[in-house]
Structure 1
Amino acid sequence: MPGALDGVRVLDLSRVLAGPWSTQILADLGAEVIKVERPGAGDDTRSWGPPFVEREDGHRDAAYYFVANRNKRSVALDISQPEGQAAVRQLASTCHILVENFKVGGLAAYGLDYDSLKSVNPALVYCSVTGFGQSGPYAPRAGYDFLIQGMSGLMSITGQPDGSPGAEAIKVGVATVDLSAGLYATIGILAALRHAERTGEGQHVDISLLDCQVSLLANQSQNYLVTGQPPQRLGNAHPNVVPYQVFAVADGHLILAVGNDGQFRRFCQVADIAALADDPRYTSNAARVENRDTLIAALKPVMAKRPAAQWTAQLEAAGVPCGPINTLDQVFDDAHIQARKMRVEMPLGDGDSHIPLVANPLRLSRTPPSYRQAPPRLGEHTLAVLAEIERHPDHTLSKDNE
């Protein structure tokens, strides 16, 4: 069955993670994605190893590259040269979407900026992903995930509280800024594509890593805007809900996530501390937040008496959310993850070798994501794509390829 975006063509001038994450989502949903890379080097992430994935033909790319580049065709073009610029311009004239993450103004020197390309394709949805956006005093700066985690305030609320062992601002263990920017880019692209389909008018989608991460501070930023007080690091505790954190248990650690007063009462019954649920200091979530320190001090020795499996079985039976802190081997061995088919295997070339990849989490009943091609070798499709341009040098979007 055709994918949701079957017939949509995407020109991907992005590299590393935020842009490629977005274009992979589009590709998984059926779009044709042409990835333009630098000859001889390619996407930066091809060299971001070890670990590396060895191909049957002797080529190897870092595992990092395989995260965000399946279902794409790779074309090696030198856009600093007139021939490369002309090829990109031709490709852009046939595409519905273009995604790039060059520094602000970087593509204007090559005549590949939005204003230049909309003259050859007025319906083009042109998405720019940068550290700080197309405007503002920081616009010329380069932006990287780690820097934005610090500048956005995310690291100021991540880590152990001041005065406790190991207290310092800590980054999140995955490039959450890049990934969230990729998701926002996809949302913006699809909204702009809908507008283009209705009106024939494309537009420039301006995605800033900093903007995206500031928006994702959610309740933490809203807490600050309401109170004027910057939130502090709480380790694994929650600023607005108690008890909602990690506890040491008899054989390790367990996450307890009590989200309402009814759950707290049931937790207290399971924990044999039912009287605590009637204590005026703890009867409501607001009271528990106010008296966090005394409540957590009372709960720690209680939680330490039973092993994680016993707590999990008893609390789940009572409808109290809880769960383990899994390592990645435990994640992919988990029966639920396996039932949801969150690991997929794709052929890696013409031989028998396969590459394991993380599946797209979207579940669509009629047009689900598909896995058509493993991440390509650098320039694997250059000749084929250039031949298409040669055969149709004046080709523009038409009903035949929509």
Structure 2
Amino acid sequence: MARPLAGLRVVDLTQVLSGPFCTMLLADLGADVIKVEPPDGDVARRWGPFVDGGEAEGSYGGYFASTNRNKRSVVLDLKAEEGRAALLDLLGTADVLVENFRVGVMERLGLAYEDLHARFPRLVYASIRGFGDPRTGESPYVDRPAFDIIAQAVGGLIGITGLDADTPVKVGPGVGDTFPAALSAVGILAAVRHAEATGEGQMVDVGMYDGVLALCERIVYQHAITGQSPRPQGNTHPLLCPYGLVRTADGFVAVAAPSDHHWRLLAEIMGAPELGSDARYATNAARLSRAAEVYRLVEGWSVTRTTAQVVEALAGRIPCGPVNSAADIAADPHVAARQMIVEVDHPGGTPVRVIGSAIKLTGTPAETFTRAPLLGEHTAEVMAAVTAAAGATRADEEEEQRRGTTDHHRDDVRPR
């Protein structure tokens, strides 16, 4: 069954996480993603953990395996003229180019957006940088490098995460990379559709700072309306109550009962229906003003029960969920039913379990995943096809020129 992005070719110059996650999303949907790597490969190939506890020669760790599935690897040295020429030949067969270099790198390689756009007008050129590309708005921080933790910090995420205002905390997963990557994938598909309709490609630019700020959208209107900057406040919510974590006899459960209707239901389930109509807690505003009391009331009930018992009592009526570990998730029937953990082959011999696709399509589901490629595994295969395609194109152009000359000659001799 053809995948929805079958026929779309993406040349992927990215490394580490933000770019590879973006192109993984496209590859999962059927795009032909050609990962172009330098001779020593994407640095993430050397990041663990490693299958069977060791780093096999030419293999790669779990970090690389997770976000580079469904891709093909080509090795080109873009610092050499021959490598750049090969890349240009490859781009002649492509629809999309994605890179996450620092500002100025592509220009120094002679591969600036303007030059590529002039040569390949339909090409969609996507960049993911810490502070965006100057072409769409020059940040005063444009020359600064960035990683996930930097984006989380400057974009406001760390500033509202933590136990209290004095102890800000980094969010566990690399959302400073992955959320901008997801936004970039959306932008790429929008630009591809535009190119298909008009024949005109364009640049898609996502700054990691911008992406994290978009993720933290509520801090903007809170500050604009109240004049105050939201701060970390632990596992509760500044605008909704109760909406946070409560202790159980053996762990924690997330409970969300911010509407007055949900609060009355929760009070009933806790065996204290009178709390539902008590003026001190009857409205969200009232509960917010007494948030510490509200959470004490809820925990007075929840700590006498296990996590499973709390979830069983609330599920179906009150939004809730256990605070799962990775082991809990691996054993969760929801994850199995939704195919959110999949097994892929690995050069080390033992298959690796990686995250599945969260994008579910009824007509063209993502059912199979190929392992991440070895370094340069597909260089000969891809470049041979590119050379053949370039030869066929040149032959077509020569034939068109020949026919044009013949037709012109015939025009000259046609009787008037």
TM (normalized to structure 1)?
0.92
Q: Answer yes or no: is 1:258 the counterpart of 2:257.
A: yes
Deviation, 1:52, is: 4.5
* Contact in 1 for aligned 2:93/2:386 (Cα 8 Å): no
Deviation at 1:346, TM superposition (A): 2.4
Q: Alpha carbons of 1:194 and 1:175: their partners in 2 closer, same or farther (altered >3 Å)?
A: same
Residue pair 1:255, 1:323 contacting (<8 A) in 2 also: yes
Aligned pair count reads 390
> Partner of 1:329 in structure 2?
327
| Number of the residue aligned with 2:297 | 298
Choose the corresponding residue for 2:353, options 351, 356, 367: 356
The one-letter code sitting in structure 2 at the alignment partner of 1:293 is A
Moved more, 55-64 or 18-27: 55-64
Alignment match, 2:411: none
| 1:347, distance to aligned residue in structure 2 (A) | 3.0
The equivalent residue for 1:28 is 28
Aligned residue for 1:99?
98
Task: Name the counterpart of 1:149.
Answer: 152
C-alpha separation in 1, matches of 2:213 and 2:56: 44
**Counterpart of 2:182 in structure 1: which amino acid?**
L
Structure 1 residue identity aligned to 2:378: H
Q: Where does residue 209 of structure 1 map in the other structure?
A: 208
* Structure 1, unaligned runs of 5 or more: 398-402
d(CA) in 2 for partners of 1:370 and 1:337? 15
Greater relative contact order, per chain length (Cα 8 Å cut-off, separation 6+):
1
Partner of 1:376, secondary structure, is: coil
Does structure 1 conserve the Cα–Cα contact (< 8 Å) formed by 2:51 and 2:350? no
Asked whether the 8 Å contact 2:90–2:383 carries over to 1, the reply is no
Instruction: Using the TM superposition, give the Cα deviation of residue 371 of structure 1 relative to its aligned residue in structure 2, in angstroms.
Output: 2.9
Query: CA, structure 1 residues 231+298, in 2 after alignment: closer, same or farther (shift >3 Å)?
Result: same
Larger C-alpha radius of gyration, 1 or 2? 2
Match in the other structure for 2:343: 345
Is the Cα–Cα contact under 8 Å of residues 125 and 202 in structure 2 kept in the other structure? yes
Matched, 1:112 2:115: no
Q: Compute the displacement of 1:293 (Å).
A: 2.5
Cα deviation code 1:79-134 (max 9, x no counterpart): 00000110111111210000001111211111212111112210000001100011
- Give, in angstroms, the shift of residue 220 of structure 1: 2.7
1:161 aligns with 2:164: yes
Structure 2 residue 170 is matched with structure 1 residue 138: no
Distance 1:303 1:54, change over 3 A: closer
Instruction: Return the structure number with greater helix share.
Output: 2
Q: What amino acid maps onto 2:28 in structure 1?
A: D
- State how far apart, in whole Å, the 2-side matches of 1:395 and 1:156 are: 56
- Relative distance call for 1:233 and 1:82 in structure 2 (3 A) is same
TM-aligned CA deviation for residue 303 of structure 1: 2.5
Structure 1 Cα separation of the partners of residues 369 and 335 of structure 2: 22
**Residues 278-297 of structure 1 mapped to structure 2, 5 A cutoff:** 278-297=277-296
Deviations 1:241-280 (A, max 9, x none): 1111111122322221113111110110111222111121
TM-score after normalising by structure 2: 0.89
**Which residue of 1 is the match for residue 16 of structure 2?**
16
Structure 1 residues 355 and 310, CA, compared in 2 at 3 Å: closer, same or farther?
A: closer
Structure 1 residues 14 and 139: CA distance shift in structure 2, 3 A: same
Contact 1:70 / 1:371 at 8 angstroms: preserved in 2? no
Structure 2 counterpart SS, 1:160: coil
Contact kept, 8 Å, 1:54 with 1:61, in 2: the verdict is: no
On the 8 A contact 1:34/1:73 being kept in 2, the answer is yes
Q: Percent identity among equivalent residues? A: 39
Residue of structure 2 in register with 1:400 after alignment:
none
Q: What is the identity, as a one-letter code, of the residue corresponding to 2:342?
A: V
The structure-2 alpha-carbon separation of the partners of 1:132 and 1:52, relative to structure 1 and needing over 3 Å to count, comes to farther
User: Residue type matched to 2:321 in 1?
Assistant: G
- Please give the alpha-carbon distance, in whole angstroms, between the structure 1 residues aligned to 2:282 and 2:261: 10
Matched residue SS, 1:107: helix
Give RMSD over aligned pairs.
Answer: 2.1
